[in-house]
Structure 1
Amino acid sequence: MTEIILKKGKDKAAWQLHPWIFSGAIATIVGKPANGDLVSVYNDDREFIAYGYYNGESRVAIRLLEWDPAKEVNENWWRERIQKAVKARNGIFNEQTNTARLIFSEADFLPGLIADRFGDFISLQILTTGIERVKSIVVDELQKLLNPKGIYQREDGAARAHDGLEAQGGVLFGQHPPVFVDIIENGIHYKVNIAEGQKSGFYCDQRTNRLIVAQHAPGKKILDCFCYSGGFSLNALKMGASQVFSVDSSALAIETLIQNISENAFDKSKHTVIQSDVNKQLKAFKEQGEKFDLVILDPPKYAPSRSSLEKASRAYKELNRLGLLLLSSGGLLATFSCSGAMDIDTFKQVLAWAALDAGKEIQFINQFNQPEDHPIRASFPEGEYLKGLLCRVI
């Protein structure tokens, strides 16, 4: 196995179980590892730190896997890690929910691997060369553990390119998923497009937050922005909202949402679907004098990195300012950020600025987080990306 020696003073995070080693921390490579090869990592005193897999084309040159020198990273190691991750999610699945994240990359000590269960199918994202090397083991173990009808790999070209991988997707086991896979979450039925939908096909990271927000829905007029396939909208209708307006720019999202309304036999007269740019539609509602009791803002990632945080903060501020303008005293704003670069304190400050510009005074009355199938590993705080706030206009 290739040995990699780190520069003096560049080993602290690795000793503390952080899984990333950047290329600039490497002093010496003893050998010529290929991308995806297992390597052993040492400090400058030649003390063993951990095993990991290497990629010379990635800014994250080594992703650490195992800190015990006595444990060999072999096929059994990979299978045991997968088993442990899946077992930890067993309590989520029941008659009301058959969808959740099974494996969450670094959080489950499996960097570069994301697996989501959608009813009878599993959607995989394979984002690194190291995971590409053991893909057959991953597929075989998930097949044995869950006996799905099919396992499908998402293409994820942009994400794979960061690790020097070409875009690749398709069926890895069993049946090709139908255009729409039937799933159930919180007792609500959804049609999920695994092959073409956003991310893995469905945002199961909002499962718990949808329930919390829906508690405020009875009898309320609600605006759900960036609604995608309707997670917040459907939960609100189930809980007795008087009217729900759902806005998204994606034609596929709107098509899916309309199917989901019919699938659950909700009253279509209480639901309005609008395909539009969200900021443009919020301005149109303001000009029309529309008011809502609850506005939900769940935008895509505005800040993919720390360098883009300032620009993203301005975008978040403007979006939330427009949302607040549609609320009267007592109205609620449920607003989210899935940008890992934006922490909750910065997000609160952005909301304070948005409220000031909107001429509104707000209170933070609840805080939203990731659900248990998206755990945050103590040694990898970067895994915390989803945060949200429930604000009351006073």
Structure 2
Amino acid sequence: MRQEVTVRVNDKAKAEFQRGYPLIAKEALENADVLETEGTIVNLTDKHDKFLAKGYYGKQNKGYGWVLTRNKDEAIGQGFIERTLAAAIAERKTFYDDPNTTAFRVFNGEGDGFGGLSIDYYGGFYLVSWYSEGVYSFKDEVIAALQNVADCKGVYQKKRFDAKGQYIEEDDFVAGERGEFPLIVKENGINFAIYLNDGAMTGIFLDQRDVRNAIKERYAKGKTVLNTFSYTGAFSVAAALGGAMKTTSVDLAKRSNSKTIEQFSVNGIDYESQDILVMDVFNYFKYAKRKEMKFDLVVLDPPSFARSKKYTFSTSKDYTHLMREAIAITEDKGVIVASTNSASFGMQKFKGFIEKAFKEEDMSYKIVEEFTLPKDFRVRKEFKEGDYLKVLFVKLGKRKNVAES
């Protein structure tokens, strides 16, 4: 039997919970000391002991847990999880029915009613990601519920927590049959090789699907493309299939070379006709400026925080500088795809970083498209932090020291 405790919240938090806010923050709780074992069911009440909501205790970087229901009598068990999962799967019917896209998010944490948990679909296999010990305590109920409501070839998992917040290496196979990897999935007709059994990442970030499609369909044809922080080269593949003249992929991780070669190869693209470079992105900027290189399309999708031998990069502090570096090697009237997955600030602040960069470069620009999370990454209007992805397609004006040709 799962432990259940009552926790009082302060007046400010009471108003937020009544509006539907799902995150249980530490500062909202007046007697947080009663919380001992992660996975404990938490009944939230006001200072007059009036019931507000029910959730679970699970510590992650966002807080102390998540609200699951506002029904005092609703039991949090396999039945609840099955109903929640079934509703989420029904919302993705159009994705399941699309033969050109066989990888997408099935369950997106608090957006689908159970914070701290995400489930992705990869060509018949499901990948469950756990973000706290608290949500991991529901493992048996979640896996059983998933197998009951979905047609699963097999189930894999990623435990994205430990004392330091790092990924824990272990056998990621959970249930069903084991997959043969790489597993080839489709995204808007593009092939991607993915691995569910090889560390924290799978080989593709599903939340960038709409952005890759935009590059392929509207921006790449006949262009030279630079893909920085390129990971497995997914943006480069999309650009090449969209008719790019040439792509250049740059990433510091040594394995990015073989991974990018693999992604080109599964799409029938001659990887030797593309440039794939293993080096620090900031060193590449210096090299490109020294060689007076310019690109028509530059993709900037850095991690929120990164460290190399010479540089430490933090999105909130350094994106303006990164943008200036990109502007310097982008052609006049070229496009920079500026992207961040940082949840620590909103779209307006991100646009401010872009504006500051162009102002410092004394250049005009125009935002021609912007993207947030795709439809399968459901978010709640009461929890704006959940819509973490911010992508801007920024078209450069003319440099003021360059005469019109």
TM-score (norm 2): 0.87
Q: Offset of 1:133 from its aligned partner? A: 2.2
1:105 to 85, 105, 109: 109
Quick one: structure 1 residues 102 and 162, their matched pair in 2 at CA, closer, same or farther if it must change by over 3 Å?
farther
Paired position in structure 2 for 1:257: 260
Contact 1:124 1:200 survives alignment (8 Å): no
Please tell me whether the aligned partners of residues 58 and 162 of structure 1 are also in contact (alpha carbons under 8 angstroms): no
Partner of 2:377: 374
Distance 2:35 2:228 in 1: 51
Aligned-partner Cα distance in 2 for 1:274–1:194:
25
Give the aligned residue type for 1:231.
Answer: A
Aligned residue number for residue 172 of structure 1: 174
**Change over 3 Å in CA distance of 1:62–1:389 after alignment to 2:** closer
After TM superposition, the structure 1 = structure 2 runs for residues 140-159 of structure 1, keeping only pairs within 5 Å, are: 140-156=144-160, 159=161
CA RMSD of superposed structures (Å):
2.6
Assess if the C-alpha contact under 8 Å between 2:54 and 2:67 holds in 1: yes
CA contact (8 A) 1:300 1:338 kept: yes
Query: Using the alignment, how far apart are the partners of 2:10 and 2:342 within structure 1?
Result: 31
Q: Supply the AA of the counterpart residue of 1:35.
A: E
Stretches of structure 2 that go unaligned for 5 or more consecutive residues are 307-312, 398-405
For 2:156 and 2:32, locate their aligned partners in 1 and report how far apart those are by CA, in whole Å.
36
- In structure 2, the residue matched to 1:128 is 132
Aligned to 1:236: 239
Q: Structure 1: how far apart are the matches of 2:68 and 2:164?
A: 19
Question: Could you tell me which of 220, 227, 230 is aligned with 2:230?
Answer: 227
Query: Does 1:218 pair with 2:221?
Result: yes
Aligned length: 386
Contact (CA 8 Å) 2:26, 2:32: kept in 1 or not? no
Contact 1:2 1:29 in 2 (8 A): no
Aligned partner letter, 2:274: H
CA gap of 1:327–1:7, structure 2 versus 1, over 3 A, is: closer
SS at match of 2:283: helix
Q: How far did 1:190 drift?
A: 1.1
8 Å Cα contact 1:226-1:298 kept in structure 2: yes
Tell whether the 8 Å contact from 2:58 to 2:135 is kept in structure 1 after alignment. no
SS at match of 1:161: coil
Letter in 2 for 1:121: F
Shift of 1:168: 5.6
Q: For 2:94 and 2:62, how far apart are their aligned partners in 1?
A: 37
Give 1:114's match in structure 2, choosing from 118, 140, 146: 118
Query: 2-side partners of 1:127 and 1:73: how far apart?
Result: 18
Shift of 1:59: 7.6
Structure 1 residues 197, 180: CA separation in 2 closer, same or farther (over 3 Å shift)? farther
**Secondary structure of the residue that 1:222 maps to in structure 2?**
strand
User: How many Å apart are 1:22 and its aligned residue?
Assistant: 2.5
Write the deviation string for residues 16-71 of structure 1: whole angstroms up to 9, x where unpaired. Answer: 11122223332347977632111221111111111111258988334211002243
- After TM superposition, give the deviation of residue 242 of structure 1 in Å: 1.0
Instruction: Report 1:187-226 matches (<5 A).
Output: 187-196=189-198, 198-214=200-216, 215-226=218-229
After the TM superposition, which of the residue ranges 119-128 and 333-342 deviates more from structure 2? Answer: 119-128
2:47 to 44, 48, 52: 44
Q: Determine if contact 1:337/1:387 at 8 Å carries over to the other structure.
A: yes
Secondary structure of 2:219's aligned partner: coil
Specify the alignment match of 2:325 in structure 1: 322
Identify the residue that residue 334 of structure 1 maps to in structure 2: 337
| CA–CA separation in structure 2 for the residues paired with 1:217 and 1:59 | 37
User: How big is the shift at 1:270?
Assistant: 3.9
SS of the residue corresponding to residue 192 of structure 2 reads strand
- Residue of structure 2 in register with 1:27 after alignment: 30
Contact kept? 2:220, 2:242, Cα under 8 Å: yes
Q: How far is 1:252 from its partner? A: 2.4
**What is the distance in 2 between the residues matched to 1:360 and 1:336?**
20
Q: Which whole-Å CA distance do the structure 1 matches of 2:256 and 2:200 have between them?
A: 9
Distance 1:57 1:194, change over 3 A: closer
Q: Tell me how far apart the structure 1 counterparts of residues 200 and 168 of structure 2 sit (CA, whole Å).
A: 19
Contact 1:20/1:62 (<8 A) preserved = yes
Where does structure 1 lack aligned partners over 5 or more consecutive residues? 304-309
The amino acid across from 2:195 in the alignment is N
Query: What residue identity is the alignment partner of 1:106?
Result: E
* Structure 1 residue 292 displacement after superposition: 0.9
Counterpart position of 2:394: 391
Cα-to-partner distance string for 1:199-223 (whole Å, 9 max, x where unaligned): 4542000001111122111111111
The equivalent position to 1:184 in structure 2, one of 186, 191, 212, is 186
3-state SS of 2:198 partner: coil
Range moving further from structure 2, 88-97 or 285-294: 88-97
Inter-CA distance 38–350: structure 2 relative to 1 (3 Å threshold): same
Q: Distance in 2 between matches of 1:250 and 1:195?
A: 19
SS in 1 for 2:55: strand
The Cα of 1:332 is off from its aligned counterpart by 0.9
Residue identity over aligned pairs, in percent, reads 25
